[in-house]
């Protein structure tokens, strides 16, 4: 049993809006144990919409439409389906009543074309619209289930959650549940990670294992099917355990978490505070940590020390250090981290100095990065990186590495205890 999602609307083809409905519905439908094999976006054009329907019927049992149920001339989803299936459009009295009520409540005059929204496909199950006017519809015809949903997410999402989902699962009467879990890794490339677990990927069936790379991170999406959801979860636990026995050093979290969310969490758990002295990264690290709500309990403030004057006068880096080793050096990174922690009276100080690009600096090539990490009561680490990317990529990867190193060190120090 598989499904296909057809979004109707020229605004999507012009790039005026993003098709978030397809994402929402895909997540929901997967949870019902139904496979989604295709998304299609087609404009407000009867001929091309008809062609899309015919093609969907050739490859999918369930066809879900979003959009084109509005009152205006270019809304023609149900009209096109009506002609295609030879089903009349009939007035749905309860839908009409709720539309009239809507206008009464908002003291607006109801125009004739609003009545059009209360027309539904004969023989269809009508899905009430609790957040707008256009009702949804579910119609079984031939071997297919057709579901029509409104385009605006704030109408479509609650309609599907409250009414649409049940109609689908009873049609699919699939008793299999699909559960999915995302494992997030940093510090290892997609190819290298896959090489580590290639035998598992080759042997995959249920659960499936899908790698995905982006922003210098790699994720693995595990998906299991089973009638018993608890069993499906334990199948995921098992594969996760096997995978992380091999690449667990690079694992940092699940699903939609981020390195900075994990960092803030572990600092809170350990009652640790942090500050930063940022040259290379110009405030990016502090910007990222303060983007996490509640960061104020672990982060009080820090300095962007872009020029050598600021490094010396505000962060008390020795003139000798800058003259002898330069600003892009292990020594400078160490002093910046240690002095920042002292000046801001925090447990941890992190510093970033390096060459973001486009030009070399102090004879050091673009991508040279020193990250200083001073943790109270422990020797200061300075990590050197050679990042080969653009200015933006080098800055982004540098702060992520900084995050990753701190997470590693405070975990290690704990394990050491």
Distance of closest approach, residue 256 Cβ to a second copy, in angstroms: 10
| Footprint on residues 229-268 left by a second copy (CB under 8 A) | none
- Judged by CB under 8 A, does residue 405 bind a second copy? no
Of the residues 93, 202, 320, 323, which one makes contact with a second copy according to CB under 8 A? 202
Which stretch, 48-56, 81-89, 160-168, 400-408, contacts a second copy (CB under 8 A)?
Answer: 48-56
Which tokens is 146 given? 């057709």
Q: How far is the CB of 35 from a second copy (least distance, A)?
A: 8
One residue of 258, 281, 321, 339 binding a second copy per CB under 8 A: 281
| Choice from 46, 54, 88, 101 touching a second copy (CB under 8 A) | 101
Q: What's the farthest any 2 CA atoms get from each other in the chain?
A: 87
Number of residues that bind a second copy (CB under 8 A): 116
DSSP three-state, residue 20:
helix
d(Cα 380, Cα 334) in Å, to the nearest integer? 7
Question: Least CB distance from residue 3 to a second copy, whole Å?
Answer: 10
Among 88, 122, 140, 215, binds a second copy (CB under 8 A): 215
Can you tell me whether residue 106 is helix, strand or coil? coil
200 sits near a second copy (criterion: CB under 8 A): no
Only segment of 83-91, 208-216, 347-355, 404-412 that touches a second copy (CB under 8 A): 208-216
User: Nearest approach, Cβ of 171 to a second copy (angstroms)?
Assistant: 19
DSSP per-residue letters across 134-197: PPEEEEEETTEEEEEE-SSHHHHHHHIIIIIHHHHHHHH----EEEEEEEEEESS-HHHHHHHH
Question: Closest separation between CB of residue 328 and a second copy, Å?
Answer: 13
CB 128 within 8 A of CB 150: no
Residue from 263, 267, 289, 371 touching a second copy (CB under 8 A): that is: 289
- Residue 282 Cβ vs a second copy, minimum distance, rounded to whole Å: 3
Which residue lies nearer to a second copy by CB, 97 or 413? 97
Q: Which of residues 142-181 bind a second copy (CB under 8 A)?
A: 152, 154, 180
* Least CB distance to a second copy at residue 388 (A): 3
- 71: burial class by Cβ within 10 Å (0-12, 13-18, 19+)? middle
Here the tokens at position 285 are: 């690290």
Does the footprint of a second copy cover residue 272 (CB under 8 A)?
no
Tokens of 352: 């970033």
CA distances from 221 to 36, 88, 188, 207, 240 (A): 16, 44, 16, 10, 10
139 or 304: whose CB is closer to a second copy? 304
Interaction between residue 80 and a second copy (CB under 8 A)? no
* Residue with tokens 């409540």, as numbered in its chain: 105
Residue 227 is a binding residue for a second copy (CB under 8 A): no
Q: Which of 170, 307, 413, 414 forms a contact with a second copy (CB under 8 A)?
A: 307
CA dist 302 and 309 (Å) reads: 16
Q: Of 248 and 365, which has the nearer Cβ to a second copy?
A: 365
- Verify binding: residue 377, a second copy, rule CB under 8 A: no
CB contact at 8 A, 321 and 331: yes
Tell which positions 109-138 bind a second copy, by CB under 8 A: 109, 111, 113-114, 130-131
Helix axes 46-59, 77-85, angle to 10 degrees: 60
Q: According to CB under 8 A, which one of 84, 166, 221, 325 is a site residue for a second copy? A: 221
Which H or E run includes 343? Answer: helix 330-343
389 binds a second copy (CB under 8 A): yes
Q: Which of 135, 136, 357, 372 binds a second copy (CB under 8 A)?
A: 357
Q: Are 407 and 252 in contact (CB under 8 A)?
A: yes
Cis peptide before 88 (omega within 30 of 0): no
Interactions with a second copy, residue window 17-36 (CB under 8 A): 17-20, 22-28, 30, 36
Q: Are β-strands 2-8 and 62-66 bridged in parallel, bridged antiparallel, or unpaired? A: parallel
Catalogue the long-range contacts made by 383-392 (C-beta closer than 8 Å, 24 or more residues apart): 384/330, 385/354, 390/357, 391/356, 391/357, 391/358
Name the token pair of 397: 């990867």
């Amino acid at each position: 049993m598989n499904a296909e999602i057809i979004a109707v609307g020229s605004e999507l083809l012009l790039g005026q809006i993003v098709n978030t409905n397809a994402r929402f519905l895909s997540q929901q439908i997967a949870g019902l144990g139904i496979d989604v094999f295709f998304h299609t976006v087609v404009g407000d054009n009867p001929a091309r919409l008809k062609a899309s329907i015919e093609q969907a019927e050739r490859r999918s049992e369930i066809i879900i439409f979003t959009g084109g149920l509005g009152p205006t001339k270019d809304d023609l989803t149900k009209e096109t389906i009506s002609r295609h299936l030879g089903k009349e459009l009939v007035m749905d009295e309860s839908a009409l009543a709720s539309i009239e009520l809507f206008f009464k409540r908002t003291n607006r005059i109801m125009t004739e074309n609003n009545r059009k929204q209360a027309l539904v496909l004969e023989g269809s199950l009508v899905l009430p619209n609790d957040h707008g006017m256009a009702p949804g519809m579910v119609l079984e015809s031939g071997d297919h289930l057709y579901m029509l949903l409104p385009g605006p997410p704030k109408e479509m999402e609650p309609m599907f959650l409250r009414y649409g989902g049940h109609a689908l699962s009873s049609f699919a009467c699939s008793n299999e549940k699909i559960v999915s879990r995302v494992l997030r890794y940093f510090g290892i490339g997609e190819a290298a990670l896959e090489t580590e677990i290639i035998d598992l990927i080759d042997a995959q069936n249920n659960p499936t294992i899908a790698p995905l790379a982006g922003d210098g991170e790699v994720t693995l999406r595990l998906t299991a099917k089973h009638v018993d959801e608890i069993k499906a979860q334990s199948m995921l636990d098992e594969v996760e355990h096997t995978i992380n026995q091999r690449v667990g050093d690079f694992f940092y979290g699940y699903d939609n978490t981020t390195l900075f969310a994990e960092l803030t969490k572990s600092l809170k758990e350990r009652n640790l505070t942090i500050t930063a002295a940022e040259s290379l990264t110009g405030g990016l690290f502090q910007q990222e940590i303060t983007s996490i709500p509640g960061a104020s309990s672990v982060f009080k403030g820090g300095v962007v020390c872009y020029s050598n004057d600021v490094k010396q006068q505000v962060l008390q880096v020795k003139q000798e250090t800058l003259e002898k080793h330069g600003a892009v050096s292990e020594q400078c990174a160490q002093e910046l981290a240690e002095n920042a922690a002292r000046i801001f009276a925090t447990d941890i100080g992190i510093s970033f100095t390096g060459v973001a690009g486009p030009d070399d600096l102090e004879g050091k090539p673009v991508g040279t990065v020193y990250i200083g990490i001073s943790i109270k009561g422990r020797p200061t680490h300075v990590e050197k990186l050679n990042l080969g990317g653009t200015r933006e990529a080098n800055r982004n990867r540098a702060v992520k590495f900084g995050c990753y190193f701190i997470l590693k060190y405070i975990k290690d120090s704990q394990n050491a205890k």
